[in-house]
A and B are shown apart, each in its own frame.
Chain A
Amino acid sequence: MHRSATTATPGRAATSAALALALALAWLAWGATPARAQMIMGITTNSFTPGSSTNSLDVTLTNTGTSPTTIAGFSFEITAASNNVTFEDVTVNTVSVANIFAGNSLFGPDIKLNVSNNGQTISGADNFATPYGGTTLAAHQTLGLGNVLFTLSPSTPLAPINITFTPYPTSSVSDPNANNISVGVAAHPQFGPTSVPELPPTALVVTGLLLGVGVSLRRLGLAKLLTRLGSH
Chain B
Amino acid sequence: MKNSDDLQWNPTRQLLREHLVVSPPEHPDFINSQVLAAIRREAALASVVPAKPTWSLGRLLWPGFATLAAAVLLSVFLLPRDFAGRGSGAFISQVLTAQAMDPKTSVTSFQVPDEGGVVLWIDGVDYIPATHRVQ
Is A bound to B?
A: no
A-side residues, CB < 8 A to B, are none
B-side residues, CB < 8 A to A, are none
